């Protein structure tokens, strides 16, 4: 785990209202795995850091994907090249990619695309065939970056790809990894209880101390999205008890 002041070095738009920010953070970039996250704080910003799944990591650079949904994300989007963010990471448990798997479906809704490029990288490195299944409400909200893998798109309004949900559009695969709104992940859990999902919760510290990011478990009790998660076996989460109305939609 590293804590570093990371200058902004890259900024590009990948969908309507959705941006990728790249920060120079060599230690984190060299060690992060798909599904892990960074906790980002800004001087003069909100008190608490904000958790972001790492989108890409290469060449000393860590990328995150975000949308302006609150004061913190708005302030991040207003950053200029060279402005510094405090980056803590990599945090949390990554996707587990067993070598026995031959195919993986990466299912994402909206900003849930966040951990998928890194998951795709790790899967390709493990010799697993990657299929992206990515959905959004409308075509212009679909993320435009899919790394040359096989891609299935879906939109709620039918303006691009298959009309309907990503879960309905997805093929079966040896391995299913999913990230998106908790309601979507609950549907994933119904169809593939063994899928691995990266859940979204509010977070305080991101390091396992504050117990703020409680995830309700089917076996009873809670554990911490930041430490035991954010990647879970879908069937292990008590989806009825996990809030699905969070007012920011940053997956981590």
Closest to other proteins by CB, 173 vs 237, is 237
Q: Is 186 in the site for other proteins (CB under 8 A)?
A: no
Closest to other proteins by CB, 62 vs 106, is 62
Burial class (CB in 10 A: 0-12, 13-18, 19+), 202: middle
Q: Is 205 in the site for other proteins (CB under 8 A)?
A: yes
Which residue of 83, 222, 233, 236 would you call a contact of other proteins, by CB under 8 A?
222
Q: Which stretch binds other proteins (CB under 8 A): 77-85, 107-115, 126-134, 241-249?
A: 241-249
Q: Is 137 in the site for other proteins (CB under 8 A)?
A: no
Closest to other proteins by CB, 96 vs 238, is 238
Q: Which two tokens stand for residue 100?
A: 């026995």
Interactions with other proteins, residue window 9-48 (CB under 8 A): 41, 46-48
Binding mask 68-107 for other proteins (x = CB under 8 A): --------------------x-------------------
Which residue of 21, 188, 213, 252 would you call a contact of other proteins, by CB under 8 A?
213
Place of tokens 């799944």: 53
- Shortest distance (Å) from residue 44 CB to other proteins: 12
Q: Is 7 in the site for other proteins (CB under 8 A)?
A: no
Total interface residues for other proteins by CB under 8 A: 32
Closest to other proteins by CB, 40 vs 97, is 40
What residues make contact with other proteins under the rule CB under 8 A?
A: 1, 3, 41, 46-49, 88, 201-205, 207-216, 220-222, 241-243, 245-247
């Amino acid at each position: 785990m590293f804590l570093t002041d990371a200058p902004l070095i890259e900024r590009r738009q990948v969908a309507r209202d959705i941006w990728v920010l790249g920060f120079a953070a060599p230690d984190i970039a060299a060690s992060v795995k798909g599904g892990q996250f960074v906790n980002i704080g800004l001087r003069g910003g909100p008190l608490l850091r904000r958790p972001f799944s790492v989108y890409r990591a290469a060449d000393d650079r860590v990328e995150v994907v975000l949308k302006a949904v609150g004061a913190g994300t708005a302030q991040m989007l207003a950053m200029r090249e060279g402005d510094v963010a405090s980056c803590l990471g990599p945090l949390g448990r990554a996707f587990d990619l067993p070598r026995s798997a031959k195919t993986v479906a990466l299912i994402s809704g909206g900003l849930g695309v966040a951990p998928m490029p890194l998951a795709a990288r790790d899967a390709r490195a493990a010799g697993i065939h990657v299929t992206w299944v990515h959905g959004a409400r409308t075509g212009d909200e679909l993320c435009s970056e899919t790394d040359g893998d096989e891609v299935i798109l879906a939109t709620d309004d039918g303006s691009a790809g298959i009309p309907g949900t990503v879960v309905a559009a997805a093929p079966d695969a040896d391995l299913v990894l999913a990230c998106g709104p908790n309601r979507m992940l609950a549907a994933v859990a119904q169809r593939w209880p063994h899928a691995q999902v990266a859940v979204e919760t509010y977070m305080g510290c991101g390091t396992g101390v504050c117990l703020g990011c409680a995830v309700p478990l089917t076996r009873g009790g809670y554990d911490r999205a930041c430490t035991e998660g954010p990647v879970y076996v879908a069937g292990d989460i008590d989806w009825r008890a996990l809030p699905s109305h969070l007012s920011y939609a940053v997956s981590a």
